[in-house]
Amino acid sequence: MATIGVEEEYLLLDPVTGVPVPHADKVRMAADLARLTGGHEVQSELLQAQVEVATPVCAGLEEVGGHLLRLRHAVAAGAEAHGCRLAAVATPPLRDARRAVAVTDHARYRAMLAQAPRLVEEQLVNGMHVHVSVPSREAGVRVLNRLRPWLPTLTAMSANSPLWDGRDTGFASWRTVIFSRWPVAGLPPLFRDVEDYELRVRRLLDCGLISDTGQLYWQARLSERYPTVEVRCPDVQLCADDAVMLAGVVRGLVETALAEADADTPPPDCAPEFLQAAMWHAARHGLSSTLIDPARATVCRAGDMLCGLLGHIGAALEASGDTREVTSLVHRLLRQGTCADRQRAVLAAAGPRAVVDLIVAESTP
């Protein structure tokens, strides 16, 4: 059974105004000093209003959930100690557009600021990254080729960024739109083999289009640090158990793709323009409308697409013992809607400040 690890990015919000505040270094140090985390589990991010956490390598979903709750509470305690609040949300409902949040003092981040200052200023977006182990980089490339048609569905399921500057953007995942503006972003291309993958990356580096492999902002990629495939399309989730659900689905997709590759089942032949449009559609609507099945070039009801997803990964879920947990959480998602749906309901009833209160309350129960 493949091992799994999860990274989550959070915002730090002012408890009175609800806007992001630049206290990341202080919060990270406070979390570490509380001895609730190891020194490497809470990390800095591009902007000083963001904090990232990373679980250890986990064998099961219960372990993933336990670590995420522990890390959320550690960061929340550090935030409380410095007068701010943790928010597991993919875009801030409110922000001070007159004052840019400071960039973390790191050479890589300073270079990004020089490259694209306005993009960096608006990079107040937080994702969830799921690492699943693969036996080799060659196997990882074969997995990537088979994951591509499912990335829009994962994006729709995880939508948690409908608001920007106090208004509804009309998108369930505005983070997906913001991230798409970087030179190398969006859906990964179809690769012939691992040599093709490495050649394409090397060309991007040699031409200076990216400064390092960390700027490969594909929604799924090979990790350069770990023997894993890293799926990056989900928004960070309000609740840790929704993150656990997505982690289980991603592992199921990776293990299913490995089995298909071993059986020499060819990857789906998806036209790139159709796949990109399907991703836009998923970011726009989440689960509130239809979804596009890129492999079949058809329009589906969201519930039918998720049932198809569960059927596709059913054998992998059964083998890992995740069937009951993942299935029940997916059914709950269909009943209750996405995090974006919940934010919109509160916005309509009580305004953007009430959305901030919802996010803070849900992030660390």
Among 364, 157, 137, 177, which Cα is nearest to 250's? 157
Q: How many Å apart are CA 106 and CA 25, to the nearest integer?
A: 12
CB-based contacts of 349, cutoff 8 Å, min separation 6: none
What CATH number corresponds to the domain at position 246? 3.30.590.20
How high is the pLDDT of residue 35?
56
Angle at CA 112, nearest 5°, toward 107 and 115?
125
Q: How many Å apart are CA 183 and CA 187, to the nearest integer?
A: 12
How high is the pLDDT of residue 34?
54
Among 153, 145, 137, 154, which Cα is nearest to 261's? 145
Q: How many Å apart are CA 147 and CA 140, to the nearest integer?
A: 10
How many domains, in total, are found in the chain?
A: 1
How high is the pLDDT of residue 38?
60
Q: How many Å apart are CA 310 and CA 317, to the nearest integer?
A: 9
Q: How many Å apart are CA 180 and CA 225, to the nearest integer?
A: 24
Q: How many Å apart are CA 2 and CA 212, to the nearest integer?
A: 27
How high is the pLDDT of residue 206?
97
Among 24, 12, 26, which Cα is nearest to 109's? 24
- The answer to whether the beta carbons of residues 40 and 31 sit under 8 Å apart is no
How high is the pLDDT of residue 36?
57
Quick count: other Cβ atoms within 10 Å of Cβ 70?
16
Report if pTM > 0.95: yes
Report how far apart, in Å, the C-alpha atoms of 166 and of each of 103, 343, 344 are: 23, 11, 11
Report how far apart, in Å, the C-alpha atoms of 5 and of each of 8, 131, 147, 241 are: 10, 5, 18, 15
Q: What is the DSSP string of 138-193?
A: HHHHHHHHHHGGGHHHHHHHT--B-EETTEE-S-SBHHHHHHTTSSSEESPPP-SS
Pairing of strands 185-186, 217-218: parallel
**Domain containing 45: what range?**
4-363
Print pLDDT tens along the chain (365 aa): 899 999 999 999 999 999 999 999 999 988 876 555 566 799 999 999 999 999 999 999 999 999 999 999 999 999 999 999 999 999 999 999 888 999 999 999 999 999 999 999 999 999 999 999 999 999 999 999 999 999 999 999 999 999 999 999 999 999 999 999 999 999 999 999 999 999 999 999 999 999 999 999 999 999 999 999 999 999 999 999 999 999 999 999 999 999 999 999 999 989 999 999 999 999 999 999 999 998 888 999 999 999 999 999 999 999 999 999 999 999 999 999 999 999 999 999 999 999 999 999 999 97
The b/e string for 202-211 (b: 16+ C-beta within 10 A; e otherwise) is eebeeeeebe
What residue type is assigned to position 166 of the chain?
G
